[in-house]
Amino acid sequence: MAYSDLQTFLKALDQAGQLSRVTCEVDPVLEIAEIADRVCKSPAAGNAPPPAFDAIHGRRGGRGLLFERVRGSGIPCAINVYGSYERMRMALGCDSFESMADRVQSLIKPDIPTNLLDKIRKLPELAKIAGFGPKVVKRGICQEVVHTDDASLFDLPIIQCWPLDGQPGQMGKSADSPAAGRYITFAGIYTKDRDTGERNVGMYRVQVFEPRMTAMHWHMHHDGPRHHRKYQARGEKMPLAIVLGGDSVLPYAATCPLPPDVSELLFAGFLNDTGIELVPCKTIPMEVPANAEIVIEGLVEPKETITEGPFGDHTGFYSVPDRYPVFRVTAITHRRNPVYPTTIVGMPPQEDYCLGKCTERIFLPLLRIIVPDIIDYSLPMFGAFHNCVFVKIAKHYPYHARKVMSSIWGAGQMMFTKMIVVVDEDVNVHDEQDVLFHLCANVDWRRDTVIVDGPVDILDHAAPFEGAGSKIGIDATRKIPGEGIVRPYPPKMEMSAEVKALVTRRWGEYGMAMKGLD
């Protein structure tokens, strides 16, 4: 089972040797980010042999960091808490991502009862699924301290990640405020559909301008702005809560590419094996996790916008400044002696890479429901999530790989994928060299590539238009008749199984051990 709140999780990390406490004073402007960036890119903590997954995908991420003295604030700051595969497994309360993927598989494709006895046996399981939903309670630790008229974002240890963050003048646009480019980066953003009451939890960056005013950065494809558009149409302010901390599964659930009709809070309850407890906010009609560290309540203006950005993003480049809605704070509540969680993004690997790789594994069953041809897939680090995907299939007919490409581009947020490389089932998609070897060996560029126009990531600065550009699919499978001009493919070199077994059996006789060849 996962952890009920951030501080319990931090204690568990400390006991497991996965947390470093920094007791000297540090500056929230750039210094914390530089420390975290170096730690993110260092070897992972722990001396035990890494699990198979970690060995394949790279064992990195150092330790989580807890800065106990942050200049200008009396609140400690935690970062890189989810920045290794081991810490991600602890946060989700699982032994492996594969076991969690099996649970997702059972949730999205349950066995169908065939008779009355089977239906009766299924009732406890169905009741358990229903129990994953959030539960509203009267009180929670997130409201032990309440600030309304005296609420100030400047009391929080909000960090500036990169030198040009929040400096639009450096990128040719005028600024609305001379405030430093400090951003809330690791919060759940809670909104509700005005008409249906449907909840959404996203994770969007929030630039702070004044003690009680921020910009709310979100992309047009997401549910938060979809909710906002309904309020805009009526000229109404939209209630919104910025939630920091809480149950250890919540930050992960907020980043998941769930289907539109699946609630992040329901999924968090599923990961947690019990429903997330919520409490009503003090000043807005919204419910938030009872065990959160800090909650910022407020209203998003229907028409008022402000120039937000630039911001050093997960692409490794600054995203350009643009106009985004203004959010005004109505209250800040928190537990006694809270901890402020944050993160940085930038040139990978960063903390978000571990979150993304976890999603890659856990959501493989869901992707297979949408595109059943897929055996496995990998989002390589150099692709920064949306730029590249390697896909393994068992090829059965001409242009099978192209059918898979089209399916992926039609699968939710996979539509943003800038490059798809499809390979045969004997290729290891988690080994970039293996994929590139078969790409170079099997591809004729005129015959085996397809370029299409469509939606791309808003952060893709190479696209000719914001959010719209071209994408490429590369068929790196062996070609078969019906796929254009195809000459006979030569067989792939491989030693016979008998000789391999012979050499393995006699290896000790060859005297290789002294030379380090065993």
Per residue in 387-401, pLDDT (tens digit) is 899 999 999 999 999
What pLDDT does residue 434 have?
A: 96
Helix locations, 371-475, DSSP H: 400-409, 432-442, 445-448
pLDDT tens-digit series, residues 422-477: 999 999 999 999 999 999 999 999 999 999 999 888 888 889 998 899 999 999 99
Is residue 120 over pLDDT 50? no
With cut-offs at 50, 70 and 90, classify the pLDDT of residue 14. Answer: very high
More confident residue, 114 or 440: 440
Q: Which part of the chain has CATH 3.40.1670.10?
A: 371-475
- Alpha carbon distance 465, 470 (integer Å): 10
| C-alpha closest to that of 454 among 221, 203, 255 | 221
With cut-offs at 50, 70 and 90, classify the pLDDT of residue 129. Answer: low
pTM exceeding the 0.85 threshold for the entire prediction: yes
70-109 b/e (C-beta count within 10 Å ≥ 16 → b): beebebbbbbbbbbbbbbbbbbbebeebeebbeebbeeee
* Highest mean pLDDT (candidates 112-116, 162-166, 345-349): 162-166
Q: Is 431 a catalytic residue?
A: no
pLDDT tens-digit series, residues 405-418: 999 998 878 889 99
DSSP 513: G
| C-alpha closest to that of 100 among 322, 303, 268, 240 | 268
R_g (Cα) of the chain, nearest Å: 25
- Alpha carbon distance 434, 445 (integer Å): 19
With cut-offs at 50, 70 and 90, classify the pLDDT of residue 126. Answer: very low
Q: What is the mean pLDDT of residues 75-90?
A: 96
Q: Is 404 helix (H, G, I), strand (E, B) or coil?
A: helix
Is residue 301 over pLDDT 90? yes
CB-neighbour burial class of residue 502 (10 A; exposed 0-12, middle 13-18, buried 19+): exposed
CATH class of 371-475: alpha beta
CATH class of 118-341: mainly beta
Q: Which part of the chain has CATH 2.30.110.10?
A: 118-341
- Alpha carbon distance 42, 181 (integer Å): 27
- The DSSP annotation for 113-171 comes to P-SHHHHHHHHHHHHHHHTTS-EE-S--GGGSEEESTT--GGGS--BB-STTTT-GGGG
pLDDT tens-digit series, residues 480-506: 999 999 998 888 889 999 999 999 999
Beta bridge partners of 465: 468
pLDDT tens-digit series, residues 340-375: 999 999 888 889 988 888 888 988 888 888 899 999
Is residue 1 over pLDDT 70? yes
DSSP 384: T
Is residue 296 over pLDDT 50? yes
What pLDDT does residue 122 have?
A: 43
What pLDDT does residue 374 have?
A: 95
Q: What is the mean pLDDT of residues 136-154?
A: 96
| 341 touches 244 (CB < 8 A) | yes
> What are residue 505's phi and psi, to 5 degrees?
-65, -35
| C-alpha closest to that of 351 among 418, 268, 252 | 252
| 379 touches 360 (CB < 8 A) | yes
What pLDDT does residue 123 have?
A: 44
Helix locations, 30-115, DSSP H: 31-40, 52-57, 85-92, 97-108
Beta bridge partners of 299: 239, 328
Strands 213-216 and 374-378: unpaired
What pLDDT does residue 442 have?
A: 95
- Alpha carbon distance 251, 186 (integer Å): 7
CB-neighbour burial class of residue 174 (10 A; exposed 0-12, middle 13-18, buried 19+): exposed
More confident residue, 271 or 8: 8
- Alpha carbon distance 410, 502 (integer Å): 49
| 228 touches 234 (CB < 8 A) | no
Amino acid (1-letter code) at residue 480: I
Q: Is 244 helix (H, G, I), strand (E, B) or coil?
A: strand
The catalytic position among 155, 165, 313, 373 is: 313
| 294 touches 333 (CB < 8 A) | yes
Virtual CA dihedral for 441, 446, 447, 449, nearest 10 degrees?
A: 80
Share the mean pLDDT of the chain: 89
What pLDDT does residue 175 have?
A: 56
